[in-house]
Amino acid sequence: MRIVEDSVSRLALKDRTLWITTVCFIAAGIVGAQALAHHQRITFYLLPLVASAFGLAFLQMTDVVFDKARRVVALRKLTVVRVTRAKLRFEDIVDVTVQISPQSGNRDSIHCRLAFRTQDAVIPMTASYEPDLERHNAMRDAILCALGRAPDTTVGADPVRELAKAGRIIDAVVLLRQRENLDLATARERIAQLQRESGP
């Protein structure tokens, strides 16, 4: 996700993975044409089908537009499964959070996505997570400014501590193990200590 407009009247963010889908469909067409030209029926049906399915799996689009004058946020999400549309008043948004997901096998990468938190629900802005915690924190700052709120001190906080505080113990342990190359028992004890420090 990235900011495409930040003006006096509105803030707009977009997320696109259409290029992956397009590449997969082009590859499916080329493979299918080659197989047809060489009379290879199994290849003609199987490989393009696999490439197309792979392309559809990556089909995701998100548009989030903050209308500062009307004080309304419009969210539109498209995945291969469904289209989601939502309108939220600025007053209904309790917070904007950076959701964190550790990635297996990559100790240096923290994957994130932005989400609205209302009184009743947490609404992710995108279906997938992306790397770069700093960029997501900067986008969160811009969103809070668009909502007329000052960014708070939770931005830049330790992601392990935030996961433990949110009750996501498994994710916190996984991320701590990746980051500091700890064994399972040590990581679990450190997370338990963090929970005791944060208190009820």
List, for residues 49-64, the tens digit of each pLDDT value.
777 776 766 677 899 9
pTM here is 0.65
pLDDT band at 183 (very low <50, low <70, confident <90, very high): confident
3-class DSSP state for residue 158? coil
Strand-pair category, 60-67 with 72-79? antiparallel
Angle between helices 169-180 and 184-198 (to 10 degrees): 120
Give dist(CA 72, CA 10) in Å, integer.
10
pLDDT number for residue 126 = 86
pLDDT for residue 75 is more than 90? yes
**What DSSP assignment string belongs to 85-140?**
EEEEEGGG--EEEEEEEE-TT-TT-EEEEEEEE-SS-EEES-SS-EE-HHHHHHHH
CA angle 152, 154, 157 (to 5 degrees): 145
3-class DSSP state for residue 32? helix
Residue type (1 letter), 66: F
pLDDT band at 101 (very low <50, low <70, confident <90, very high): confident
Q: What is the pLDDT of residues 24-37, one digit of tens each?
A: 777 777 777 777 77
- Which among 4, 194, 7, 13 has a CA at the least distance from the CA of 113? 13
Q: Which structure tokens are listed for 89? A: 């008043």
Contact indicator for 98, 143 with CB cutoff of 8 Å: no
Residue with the bigger pLDDT between 52 and 44: it is 52
